[in-house]
């Protein structure tokens, strides 16, 4: 079991890798409130970083430099990852480095030393819909069927509230059945609302 100090043990040179990762996982779940899938990715990146840059020995974290951080990002990008995926690794690495700094396991705030891959953000930004496209999409839903009402509700949430697909999936899991049936009955009224 890990402790909040990052797994430091009395009489040892520092935390063991498993203790460090357990403490980081607890921090991500408890304090940051991240989902288990997101936490899994962050912890995997943390493990690769510590194994690659510290030979798996968290006691060597104190010796990290900006060169080690950028070297890790460069090594990740040379694995053939897309720029977007490399930038996801950078986000995860920055989180780890902030955690290590706050816990006193590294002396310098190295999160700023993580380079971004150029050009990945602008190419992935969604384009806006032409005027009236949202209304046409909603009108194409057959609200006389259960599937059509579902499609209408999802599109309405995307268009009106700007929700993303994963947020809608989580929302539909959290909505009680009675609310779903009320949404079904209210679907035609949404047309006026939008």
pLDDT in tens, 91-136: 999 999 999 988 888 888 888 877 776 554 444 545 666 778 888 8
- Identify the pLDDT of residue 149: 82
Whole-angstrom distance, CA of residue 157 vs CA of residue 121:
25
For the chain, which residues score pLDDT lower than 70?
1-15, 117-129, 163, 165, 168-194
- Identify the pLDDT of residue 171: 66
For the CA atoms of 182, 184, 187, 189, the dihedral, rounded to the nearest 10 degrees, stands at -30
- Identify the pLDDT of residue 84: 84
Could you tell me the domains of the chain?
17-124 (1.10.150.130), 133-193 (no CATH)
Please tell me whether the overall predicted TM-score, pTM, comes out greater than 0.85 for this model.
no
- Identify the pLDDT of residue 23: 93
Which residues contact residue 168 at a Cβ distance below 8 angstroms, ignoring those fewer than 6 apart?
154, 157, 158
Q: Which of 182, 169, 173 is nearest to 190 (CA)?
A: 182
For the chain, the C-alpha Rg in angstroms (whole number) is 23
Q: Which residues of 123-146 are buried (b: 16+ CB within 10 A; e: fewer)?
A: eeeeeeeeeeebeebbeebebeee
- Identify the pLDDT of residue 188: 52
The gap from C-alpha 121 to its chain's centroid, in whole angstroms, comes to 15
Q: Which of 99, 93, 44, 28 is nearest to 66 (CA)?
A: 93
Q: Which two tokens stand for residue 108?
A: 């310098």
């Amino acid at each position: 079991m890990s402790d909040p100090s990052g797994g430091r043990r009395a009489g040892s040179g520092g935390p063991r890798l498993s203790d460090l990762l357990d403490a980081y996982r607890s921090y991500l779940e408890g304090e940051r409130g991240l989902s288990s899938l997101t936490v899994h990715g962050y912890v995997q990146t943390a493990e690769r970083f510590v194994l690659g840059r510290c030979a798996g020995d968290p006691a060597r974290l104190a010796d990290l430099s900006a060169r080690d951080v950028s070297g890790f990002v460069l090594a990740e990008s040379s694995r053939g990852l897309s720029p977007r995926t490399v930038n996801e690794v950078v986000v995860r690495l920055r989180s780890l480095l902030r955690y290590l700094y706050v816990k006193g396991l590294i002396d310098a705030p190295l999160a700023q030393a993580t380079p971004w891959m150029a050009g990945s953000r602008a190419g992935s930004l969604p384009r806006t819909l032409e005027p009236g496209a949202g209304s046409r999409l909603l009108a194409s839903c057959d609200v006389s069927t259960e599937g059509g009402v579902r499609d209408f509700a999802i599109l309405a949430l995307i268009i009106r509230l700007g929700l993303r697909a994963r947020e809608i999936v989580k929302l539909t899991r959290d909505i009680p059945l009675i609310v779903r049936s009320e949404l079904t009955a209210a679907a035609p009224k949404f047309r006026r609302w939008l």
